[in-house]
A and B are shown apart, each in its own frame.
Chain A
């Protein structure tokens, strides 16, 4: 019986195999349009759920890929956009430097400032030019806006510049009108965490109005005449009635300078024509002065308002005290008389 059953199963298996093989071979060797038609029919009917499932999966995969691509593009755009303002600023500075180099009569060499990540970076600057390019100690270093500093030491391919922020920096200077001479040195007390300069040794009788441009005088033989050093933005102190010290807003900022010019050769010429009242620079200077004035006026207004508020508070306190005194006098409970006469008002309360 078992043998019969096994044989029956084997026969059935063989029949099924032959049937499937026949159908497969028939499909394989049938004309292509027939096969395509059968496939299309199956895809549209029995296998449509599977097709739908696969379509959703493909959609999900492509959506994920698209999302990743869009995210990448957005990140790249954001990354590039971060550099756009700095690139524009650098471009503008390079244009200004180019204009300055055309106007300079003295020989010069262009240099890159290799900023270091130290807090004292702006005091001394590492420049990418050295003795091979003709740079020597005490060569002035200028930016399109004005004086940056002076070369301190030189090696073959690099040099160290002492900027005006260095405590030992000094430059002989005069006002653009020529009515006051003095020495410019870095300010000891910074303002708003910004470096500032002091115009020292100005005779007491020579008053310098705000906004006056201060240039290097050429005395001393280190710096040529006419390089903008800074703009007068206030008075620091008056010493013993014979000297005034003015605060200057520096013309150039060594901390943000990326490219500078190192002046070579003779220092006798007047460089003032090389730093003309460039409209942009002048506008920037005037704008900075205007901002300073606005800030001063706002500060003064705030100070006045504070004083008025303090006076009003004091007056209110005095009035309250006077009322308390008068009540004490008129009330018998509080130990006063019941005459009903008004108590004497203090002078403050009557105001």
Chain B
């Protein structure tokens, strides 16, 4: 088995771990609204390592899962994650994305943009939209980015991220 395949398998294992964390650990946390979004971390890390089309497709799949399991408007999460996945892959070419802090920042911004699109597409009223985007989303973005940083530090060999931040 080639080293590239080994790396891909390791990435797949980490993504699987994130799925398990999302569906088995996250419900046990004290507040699911501000706890890290592990699926989004997986999407961002995958999209930043792959092409824009694959990022968009991965985003669509993740969004479809979210739409299926959450009572929001069907299709809103798919649209939001598609856009975020595409932008993450596209943004990697524009920014210095090998830096771990930049990666974590990407995750935070991605989560906030995702929330914005989902809330707008779900026709949320203005007051709730404002509350969500100014209070809950930033907190969740911070926790998610922090966990993404921990994940990158732990699996830096797998994600091949430099430590010269």
Contact = CB atoms under 8 A, between A and B. Distances in A.
B105 to A, nearest CB: 23
Given A28-B79, A61-B28, A20 B74 contact: no
A27 B72 CA distance: 12
Q: Which of A16, A42, A51, A54 has the largest count of B CB atoms less than 10 A from its CB?
A: A16
Interface string A24-55: 11111110100110110011000100110110
Contacts of A32: 74
Interface in B1-33: 19-20, 23-28
Contacts, number: 104
26 contacts: A12-B53, A13-B52, A13-B53, A13-B56, A17-B52, A20-B56, A23-B60, A24-B60, A24-B75, A24-B78, A24-B82, A27-B64, A27-B67, A27-B78, A28-B121, A30-B75, A35-B67, A35-B74, A39-B67, A39-B74, A42-B64, A47-B65, A51-B69, A57-B24, A57-B25, A61-B28
B124 interface: no
Interface string A144-162: 0000000000000000000
A61 B32 CA distance: 12
B86 interface: yes
B91 interface: no
Nearest to B28: A61
B109 interface: no
Contacts of B36: none
A59 B75 CA distance: 28
A9 interface: yes
A61 B27 contact: yes
Contacts of A17: 52-53, 56, 82, 86
Nearest to A12: B53
A26 B23 contact: no
Nearest to A64: B28
Question: Could you tell me the dominant secondary structure of chain A's interface residues?
Answer: helix
Contacts of A26: 75
B57 interface: yes
Contacts of A21: 56, 79, 82-83
Contacts of A58: 27
Nearest to A39: B68
Given A23-B60, A30-B75, A35-B75, 7 more contacts: A16-B54, A16-B57, A17-B53, A25-B75, A35-B74, A47-B68, A53-B23
A57 B28 contact: yes
B51 interface: yes
A57 B23 contact: yes
A16 B47 CA distance: 13
B111 interface: no
B75 A29 contact: yes
B42 interface: no
Contacts of A9: 51, 53
Nearest to B71: A39
B97 interface: no
Interface in A302-326: none
Nearest to B27: A57
Interface of A: 9, 12-17, 20-21, 23-30, 32, 35-36, 38-39, 42-43, 47, 50-51, 53-54, 56-58, 60-61, 64
B162 interface: no
A42 B69 CA distance: 9
B55 to A, nearest CB: 8
B63 interface: yes
Contacts of B20: 53
Nearest to A52: B23
A122 B111 CA distance: 71
A42 B56 CA distance: 20
Nearest to A41: B68
B76 interface: yes
Contacts of B51: 9, 12-13
Nearest to B80: A24
Interface string B38-70: 000000000000011110110110011101110
Given A16-B56, A30-B75, A60-B28, A43 B68 contact: yes
A52 to B, nearest CB: 9
